[in-house]
Structure 1
Amino acid sequence: MCDVVGVSFTVGPACREFAVYDRAHPRGGGRLRPGGRLGLARLTLLDLGGGFAGDAARPRPLHGASAFTLATQVTSVRRRSDAVDYYVNDGVYGAFNCVLYDHQVCRPRPLQDDAPPSGPPATIWGPTCDSMDQLCEGQLLPPLQPGHWLVWDNMGAYTLSAAGTFNGFPRASVCCVITAPLSEAVRAAVGPLSPMPEPAIQPTQLPAEQCVAEN
């Protein structure tokens, strides 16, 4: 038997009307008070549910969003007198599906951030040439060229897990990174790491021409 300590609610990620949150809030609707009448202990926990940003949300996006940072490379640039368009190698059919499905607002920062923002507002587009493949607009960025990188923080929740390969564009690769201070803290907590055992079956390296012929 488990103890009931609270309640949760969600209005969904598409909600943009503040009054809906007020009506759904368990305390505002009197839904935290009946606990005593039902023989339950005092309810002390309120799970905010969905519809909030990753830093104030239900456990999955709360812990998952900040765990991943997405890096996209600029593939082409279109400049106009009053605006600039940057095309990158991931879009709404890939890791940025959160823009379509969860109405997430994604904002980039340049990897080479030593130059101050200048020039007209920028619109960032995905790679598919689809008019829906727009990641964000009105961004103030330093002048970028093909090959430059844009970094997107808090991209761990509801992003890569639902990514597809529309128009043949591959899903983003995942690289595990840890800072030196955190690495030392982990080693101090768990002790020396044992080497990974050798796999029971060793992979066989095929000649390149054989790989092409078989594929």
Structure 2
Amino acid sequence: MGRRAARRSRRGGIRLHGVSKTYGTGEAAVHALTDIDLDIPPGELVAILGASGSGKTTMLNIIGGIESADEGSISVAGQDISTKHPAQLGAFRRDHVGFVFQFFNLIPSLTARENVEVIVELTGRGDRRRVAGLLAAVGLSDRADHFPAELSGGQQQRVSIARALATDPDLLLADEPTGALDVATGREVLELLQHTSRAGRGVVMVTHNEVVAEIADRVIRMRDGTVTAEDTNANPVDAATLRW
């Protein structure tokens, strides 16, 4: 089985049709997304690229069920989430989506191990016995009992990736995952995201950095709430070689 075929072995496809989102009303209205059509097959690593205010984070939040669209339909991981009420969206996020944010969002009073374990306990998904393996996979076996304040920024982001994977989601969503990191540690985090995708899980990453987007199978470019271009990358750059 080829690399791309292997990636498609998990559910995680995304389809948006006619999706729009507006914040505010009247003259104060901000059209964050306007009539978005998008189809992402399972298992791709996709970068959503655009400047601040282009709508990329809103799109990520709608794909992940954090926000609801005003118009249009959204299918993610085999489910139509556009008509779900808040409790159903919460269950969808719990069962299908892992999130990685720019500023880690770790609980400061818990160790790295406990920050991962708590997600398993709160969601009732995953297995606490996998936590040690997840921390090993992100290179943090020797830091498992350290608190966030005792970890570097890159190490904290790696804990957040392990935490996002703890419930075995179909889809991993990352919002500017390298934005608070230097180049060396940012490259390590991108290697993890690329490895996650090549293992068969869908990964969608928001970034404003053209170089970071080079690791993606596909780049979706956004401006003023619309998709301006989609570029398929037949030969994604190995994250370990990136310089910016």
**Larger relative strand fraction:** 2
Q: Please give the range of the TM-score, normalised by the shorter of the 2 chains.
A: under 0.3
| Larger Rg belongs to | 1
TM-score, scaled relative to structure 2: 0.19
Q: Which has the higher contact order (CA 8 A, sep 6+)?
A: 2
**Larger relative helix fraction:** 2
TM-score, scaled relative to structure 1: 0.20
